[in-house]
Amino acid sequence: MATETEQDGPQEDWGPLSGLSGNPIMWVLIASELVVFGAIFISFGFARLSEPQVFAEAQDHLNRLAGAINTMVLLTSGLFAALAVHFQSRDDTLKTRLAIAAAIALGAVFLGVKFVEYADKFEQGISTETNTFFMFYYLATAFHAMHVVFGMVLLVIVGWKNSFENVVTGTAFWHMVDLIWVILFPLIYLMR
């Protein structure tokens, strides 16, 4: 696919990490988060092996459509985050901030849908102690939701202090949050 805009990379020499866009420390964090969530996902797979019936019955309590809608919401917020980098590369601060605001707003929509899902589960008396499936469900989704909240705070900061490197670095975290959800959704909501 076509590429268009060129930007200067980091000026410091970070060795192999210099080949990445944004602050290299963010990439260390992204790789670490992928490994941590990967370990949670694989543990979920192992737990499912020992209690397949419990997992199948418990998963039917989830709102799969809400999970799918939230996937679209988060991916669209990812588009706005990517657009923010595009606009910042052209020094268009207004459009950059608008794109970041849209990404944050969609992050809030994601959390709203998640809140409705949690409220529904609590009304049904479903908690972390209900069974192993729901222990993993709450662990993975709440941990992810905490990353969404942190990502929104980070986006506010880089929208305010909007140097090119800051915007690239802040939005990189947001895309990592997208990426984790893209794997989490089929695993927790659809695998049966």
Partner 1 sequence: MKTHTLPSLKTLIVVWGLLMLATIGTMFAGKVSDVTSVGPLWMGLLLVVTYIKATLILGYYLDLKSATGGWNKGFNTLVAIILIAIYGLYFFGA
Question: Of 36, 142, 146, 182, which lies in the binding site for partner 1, with binding defined by CB under 8 A?
Answer: 182
| Angle, vertex CA 34, rays to CA 30 and CA 38, nearest 5 | 170
Q: Which of 89, 130, 131, 132 is the binder for partner 1 (CB under 8 A)? A: 89
Minimum CB separation from partner 1 for residue 37, in Å? 8
Q: Is 28 in the site for partner 1 (CB under 8 A)?
A: no
**19 lies in the site for partner 1, by CB under 8 A:** yes
What is the closest distance, in whole angstroms, from the C-beta atom of residue 113 to partner 1 in the complex? Answer: 15
Residue 150 identity:
F
Using CB atoms within 10 Å of the CB of residue 164, give its burial: 0 to 12 exposed, 13 to 18 middle, 19+ buried.
Answer: middle
Q: How far apart are CA 46 and CA 7, in angstroms?
A: 44
* CB 115, min distance to partner 1, A: 21
Contacts (Cβ under 8 Å, ≥6 apart) of 187: 41, 44, 45
Determine if 113 is a binding residue for partner 1 (CB under 8 A).
no
- Interacting stretch for partner 1, rule CB under 8 A, among 58-66, 123-131, 141-149, 152-160? 58-66
**Binding flag, residue 94, partner 1 (CB under 8 A):** no
| Residue 53 binds to partner 1 (criterion: CB under 8 A) | no
Q: Are 96 and 88 within 8 A, CB to CB?
A: yes
Position 21 contacts partner 1 (CB under 8 A): yes
* CB atoms near residue 120 (< 10 Å): 14
Which token pair is 115?
Answer: 């809140």
Near partner 1 by CB under 8 A: residue from 29, 33, 52, 145:
52
Q: How far is the CB of 176 from partner 1 (least distance, A)?
A: 8
Task: Compute φ and ψ for 18, nearest 5 degrees.
Answer: -65, -20
Tell which one of 36, 93, 119, 186 touches partner 1 (CB under 8 A): 186
